[in-house]
Amino acid sequence: MNKTLFEKIWDRHVVTTLKDGTVLLYIDRHLVHEVTSPQAFEGLRLTGRKVRRPELTFATMDHNVPTDDRFNIKDPISKAQIQALTDNCREFGVRLYDLQSDHQGIVHIIGPELGITLPGTTIVCGDSHTSTHGAFGTFALGIGTSEVEHVLATQCLPQKKPKTFKVEFTGKTKAFVTAKDLILKLIGTIGTAGGTGFVLEYCGEAIRALSMEGRMTVCNMSIEAGARAGMIAPDETTFQYLASENRPFAPKGEALEKALKFWRSLPSDPGARYDRQMVMNASDIAPQVTWGTSPGMVVDVTGRVPDPDGVPGYGRKDVEQALEYMGLKPGMAMTDIKIDTVFIGSCTNARIEDLRAAAEIFKGRKVAKGVRVLIVPGSQKVLKEAEAERLDKIFKESGAEWRQSGCSMCLAMNPDQLQPTERCASTSNRNFEGRQGKGGRTHLVSPQMAAAAAVAGHFVDIRSWK
């Protein structure tokens, strides 16, 4: 039978199907962070259970980490949560990349960097953006804390087989149109529940042309379309990424040759069937900016804040509530929206390529008066690479703040937060109410668009901006 990429991975991880129809799926990698794991470890303690495969389990701390002075955590509750992870990892024998480690970073950034994320594997993490790892041809899904405990104890996850949804991006993207714009456009088209119950497989010329960084951005936001996971078939770009640098957990030499043979067998077979398919023309896609409080509330940068009755997939009331929260009026040009803050970071857009793209814009320019700009590398490795390329100098000279690695203002569990009514151009993944701080207003954009907005003080169409 002709199989999809997803089915090939699923089939080789089915341990058994229980009498009630639940599939026990084997998990090859379990990533752990400080926020969603303490109650899971506590559950193990209470039941006298152990971590079944500690060597397949990797932990880091990212959500609570201050990005200015990381060793000086002022919030005692944040500090306790980070300490709890340290203690739990020691007690249960789990490898931890803590704040002292050169490998610390946002969990979805360090997994690929270290070669933990490999094609054909299953990965889980108590974090919805686990979908990021699908960029490698991995079945990667976000889970809750009960499931974290389940995987720690059994290395298996009870699952129902999701449906498959093929999204093909045909054609070439135009200059200054990025992976972020492709995925925001898709979410705007199918809606934030359009992918619920499905695994999305992205393919087509525009996806093939993306770097691994770009592919991770696309897969990262699959959850924003409600999808169980997002995936991209591995190809030479993937293999090059895994073989080119020192990735401690990626195979080398003979093992790599053997792995390559397996990885090349993963892409969907010709004629494989999907439950749903759609085609988007990438060459028609413009830079995207969100205007509301749901990632599907998005328009082209050349567009306007919509009329409450004119938004597909959202009712009048949804739009009115969003516009009120965002302090916007229908008909306003997106490029007239002024911003106070710019955040370049997060598991969506804090990889080296994102920082290089932002630096291109900042180079020789100054941040607009009154605008605060935070640039937060996704990991210590990204930080060091950026500094070796002197990108930090470009950022600082233009007036932006260069920070240490962590989740930062993406979810504001640490000191990086918006104040009420502050408006932010953000490269993160969610524009929910209060996401970046209570009352804060978030507009999701690509790193290039965020950088240009920082310089101009408002959104600009980067394609025609001088």
Partner 1 sequence: MTPFKNHRGVLVTLDRSNVDTDQIIAKQFLKSIARTGFGEHLFHDWRTRADGSLDSDFPLNQPRFKKASILVARNNFGCGSSREHAVWALHQYGFQAVIAPWRENPSGRIPAFADIFRNNASKNSLLTIELAEAEVEEIFQMAGRTLCLEATINLDEQRVTLHLPEEISFHFEIDPAVKERMIHGLDDIGITLKEEKTVRTFEASHQTQMLT
Contact region with partner 1 (CB under 8 A), list: 96-104, 142-150, 201-209, 212-220? 142-150
Is residue 454 within 8 Å of 342, Cβ to Cβ?
yes
Q: DSSP for 7-62?
A: HHHHHTTEEEE-TTS-EEEE-SEEEE-TTTSHHHHHHHHHHT---S-GGGEEEE--
Contact region with partner 1 (CB under 8 A), list: 203-211, 350-358, 408-416, 457-465? 408-416
To partner 1, the closest distance from the beta carbon of 405 in angstroms equals 19
Structure-block tokens of residue 434: 């209060």
Helix (H) or strand (E) holding 112: helix 107-113
Write out the binding residues for partner 1, residues 194-213 only, by CB under 8 A. Answer: 194, 196-197
317 counts as binding partner 1 under rule CB under 8 A: yes
Write out the binding residues for partner 1, residues 221-260 only, by CB under 8 A. Answer: 223, 226, 228, 249, 251, 255, 259
- Considering only 20, 48, 175, 370, the residue that binds partner 1 (CB under 8 A) is 20
Phi, psi at 304, each rounded to 5°: -125, 160
Write out the binding residues for partner 1, residues 105-124 only, by CB under 8 A. Answer: 118, 120-121
Q: In sequence order, what are the beta bridge partners of 277?
A: 166
Cα–Cα dist 81/89, whole Å: 12
- Amino acid making up residue 263: W
Contact region with partner 1 (CB under 8 A), list: 145-153, 173-181, 282-290, 389-397? 145-153
Closer CB to partner 1, 432 or 465, in the complex: 432
Cα–Cα dist 398/402, whole Å: 11
To partner 1, the closest distance from the beta carbon of 37 in angstroms equals 9
To partner 1, the closest distance from the beta carbon of 47 in angstroms equals 8
Cα–Cα dist 214/211, whole Å: 5
Write out the binding residues for partner 1, residues 272-291 only, by CB under 8 A. Answer: 276
To partner 1, the closest distance from the beta carbon of 342 in angstroms equals 20
Contact region with partner 1 (CB under 8 A), list: 95-103, 170-178, 220-228, 353-361? 220-228
Helix (H) or strand (E) holding 231: strand 229-232
Write out the binding residues for partner 1, residues 430-459 only, by CB under 8 A. Answer: 430, 432-435, 438-439
Cα–Cα dist 36/392, whole Å: 32
Write out the binding residues for partner 1, residues 69-98 only, by CB under 8 A. Answer: 75, 77-78, 80-81, 84
Is residue 447 within 8 Å of 349, Cβ to Cβ?
yes
To partner 1, the closest distance from the beta carbon of 174 in angstroms equals 27
Structure-block tokens of residue 316: 């009048």
154 counts as binding partner 1 under rule CB under 8 A: yes
Write out the binding residues for partner 1, residues 26-55 only, by CB under 8 A. Answer: 26, 28-29, 35-36, 38-39, 42, 47, 49, 55
Provide the strand spans (E) within 309-364. 341-344
189 counts as binding partner 1 under rule CB under 8 A: no
Binding residues for partner 1, rule CB under 8 A, total 81
Closer CB to partner 1, 390 or 438, in the complex: 438
Cα–Cα dist 191/7, whole Å: 25
Provide the strand spans (E) within 137-180. 139-142, 156-159, 163-170
Phi, psi at 303, each rounded to 5°: -85, -170
